[in-house]
Structure 1
Amino acid sequence: MLFRHKALWLSAALFLSPAAGAQPIPVVPATPQPTIPGPGVLDIPPDHQRRYAECMKLARGEPLKALPLAEKWMSEGGGMGARHCVAIAMFQSGKYAQAAAQFEAIARDMGHERPGLRAELWAQAGQAWMEASAADKAAQAQSRALELKTDDPDLWVDRALSYAAMQSWQRAIADFDRAIRLRQDDVEVLVLRAAAWRNARDPGRALADAGRALSIAPDHTEALLERGFAYLARGTRDAANRDFERVLKLVPPNSAAARRAEAGLSGSLPVAPAPATPGAPPPAGGKR
């Protein structure tokens, strides 16, 4: 994979409007911020390999400085290596939609060669579209990746998160199902599917997935939170409170998980916002 293991993310559209006075509670559990792959992604001619490695290093560390240098290299005939470095620098500097378009163009221009690599480029495009708050375009790019690489559970999770951003819960659940079939007993994916079931208003199945996750990792705080919210949705307040209190013993005070547990103890259930609309701009104060 070009991405680090399970490099999942959530756009701002995946956060909930809480009940009055409560802290925001994510629709699905928070996941790590995306990272961008390092050098060695493309077949680079030997005389370009060193320049590609240097360009990629600069793109990850100082993207605003790297971008004009990469664009100059591209104009000088730097080929795929230069184009990929441009895309990475765009992504790292917050030009997500432009980066996504660049990743897609590289994948298309490769023709039918190296389907695995093209899948990774489409996956990168999907990641960039998600950061651009364009979940519909992310899902389209991820679908192209899955056409080329159906046995990658991370790609199924990526598209599921795009569907979750659009509140297309049944499609998200179907993709989480595929991921779990490929990587059974993955705690993080079980927790994500539990959240999707909760948002699909099926707390019974949410409870089952959260319970399965906790049978594998008893102190997994996101699983405890999801089970607590599932209990709360079913009206089993005492059981819910036990899970929320357990979370408060496991996490630092004032952490995001602690605030969510406190909201649960107050009886606040997550309330989903309006679904992400195609091409919606990032929320005020978000990364652009």
Structure 2
Amino acid sequence: MLFRRKAFWASAVLFLSSAAGAQPIPVIPAQPQPQIPGPGTLDLPPDHQRRYAECMKLARGEPLKALPMAEKWMGEGGGLGARHCVALAMFQSGKYAQAAAQFEAMARDMGQERPGLRAELWAQAGQAWMEAGAAEKASQAQSRALELKTDDPDLWVDRGLSYAAMQAWPRAIADFDRAIRLRQDDVEVLVLRAAAWRNARDPRRALEDANRALTIAPDHSEALLERGFAYLAQGTRDAANRDFERVLRLVPPSSAAARRAEAGLGGNLPVAPAPTSPNSPPQSGGKR
């Protein structure tokens, strides 16, 4: 992917949600860090490759300067490279919906050519729509990406997170299932699926996934939290408290994980967040 998020768990908090009474955790993923592709990624003419690399670097670091330069280049016939730089500059400057529309237009305009690149563009559109708070549009773009690239576990995770933002838990679980089949024993996706099972009111399945994750990574704080909340939902308070206390020994006192553990010790189960309005862009798909 040309976008890489800062950290997987920053993007997963949309439904690893805060417990009642705790400080709310943001629903929207953290701003991705674009990875600038090398020359030739878009099969550009040689005279465009250097300009594309320079434009993308500026778009990453100073998007407000890059945007008019990229638009000027596009007007001069810069083609796909210029359009992609415009989209990235829009994204980095907070114009998420406009960036998403640009990524989608690029993918459509390519027709049937280069399905791998079109999948990347649809995936980038999905990430931009999520930053705009438009989870339904994000899932639609991600579905287009998956039609072209069904063997990419990260795309299944991305769409699963979009469904989770819509509280469409069965759909989210199905997508996390696909991701786990493609990348078995991925601790982070197991915890995401555990959280989805918890929100779907099936603590037994949530406990299974959390235990499987902890078999692989015994000190994974989010897995411990999910197991604690699964125990709490089942009424096994002592076991839940042991997990929450262990989290508090592992994480910084002021962290979101610590707040969730403290809420769990108080007997508060997390509450799923309300869906984000597609018309209310926030300020800005997992590891890649």
- TM-score after normalising by structure 1: 0.91
Displacement of 1:16 after TM fit? 4.3
Residue 15 of structure 2 contacts residue 195 of structure 2 at CA under 8 Å; is this kept in 1? no
Residue 11 of structure 1 contacts residue 133 of structure 1 at CA under 8 Å; is this kept in 2? no
Displacement of 1:172 after TM fit? 0.3
Displacement of 1:6 after TM fit? 9.7
> CA offsets, 1:256-278, max 9 Å, x none?
1111111111111111233335x
Displacement of 1:34 after TM fit? 2.0
**Aligned residue number for residue 50 of structure 1:** 50
**Aligned residue number for residue 180 of structure 2:** 180
* SS of residue paired to 1:150: coil
Q: How does 1:24-173 map to 2 (within 5 A)?
A: 24=24, 33-40=31-38, 41-173=41-173
AA in 2 matched with 1:248: L
Residue 39 of structure 1 contacts residue 52 of structure 1 at CA under 8 Å; is this kept in 2? no
> CA offsets, 1:228-282, max 9 Å, x none?
11111111111011001101111111111111111111111111233335x2413
AA in 2 matched with 1:150: T
Displacement of 1:165 after TM fit? 0.3
Runs of 4+ aligned structure 1 residues displaced above 6 Å come to none
Displacement of 1:169 after TM fit? 0.2
What is the alpha-carbon distance in structure 2 between the residues aligned to residue 25 and residue 62 of structure 1? 28
AA in 2 matched with 1:107: A
What is the alpha-carbon distance in structure 1 between the residues aligned to residue 264 and residue 208 of structure 2? 19
**Aligned residue number for residue 281 of structure 1:** 280
> CA offsets, 1:165-208, max 9 Å, x none?
00000000000000000000000000000000000000000000
Are residue 264 (structure 1) and residue 250 (structure 2) matched? Answer: no
AA in 1 matched with 2:280: P
Displacement of 1:3 after TM fit? 3.7
Q: 1:162 to 1:101 in 2, by over 3 A?
A: same
Aligned positions, number: 281
- TM-score after normalising by structure 2: 0.91
Residue 18 of structure 2 contacts residue 260 of structure 2 at CA under 8 Å; is this kept in 1? no
What is the alpha-carbon distance in structure 2 between the residues aligned to residue 42 and residue 25 of structure 1? 37
| Percentage identity across paired residues of the two chains | 82
What is the alpha-carbon distance in structure 1 between the residues aligned to residue 175 and residue 202 of structure 2? 17
Displacement of 1:4 after TM fit? 3.7
What is the alpha-carbon distance in structure 2 between the residues aligned to residue 215 and residue 15 of structure 1? 20
**Aligned residue number for residue 19 of structure 1:** 20
* SS of residue paired to 1:124: helix
What is the alpha-carbon distance in structure 1 between the residues aligned to residue 57 and residue 193 of structure 2? 36
What is the alpha-carbon distance in structure 2 between the residues aligned to residue 88 and residue 26 of structure 1? 23
> CA offsets, 1:14-61, max 9 Å, x none?
5746423x333688xx97642223133311110011110000000000
Q: Relative contact order: is structure 1 or structure 2 higher (C-alpha 8 Å, sep ≥ 6)?
A: 2
> CA offsets, 1:51-86, max 9 Å, x none?
100000000000011101110110111100000000
What is the alpha-carbon distance in structure 1 between the residues aligned to residue 16 and residue 204 of structure 2? 22
Q: Flag structure 1 segments of 5+ consecutive residues without an equivalent.
A: none
Q: 1:63 to 1:137 in 2, by over 3 A?
A: same
**Aligned residue number for residue 233 of structure 2:** 233
Stretch moving more, 211-220 or 102-111? 102-111
Q: How does 1:249-260 map to 2 (within 5 A)?
A: 249-260=249-260
What is the alpha-carbon distance in structure 2 between the residues aligned to residue 232 and residue 106 of structure 1? 48
Stretch moving more, 237-246 or 10-19? 10-19
What is the alpha-carbon distance in structure 2 between the residues aligned to residue 7 and residue 16 of structure 1? 17
* SS of residue paired to 1:68: helix
AA in 2 matched with 1:281: S
What is the alpha-carbon distance in structure 1 between the residues aligned to residue 86 and residue 219 of structure 2? 42
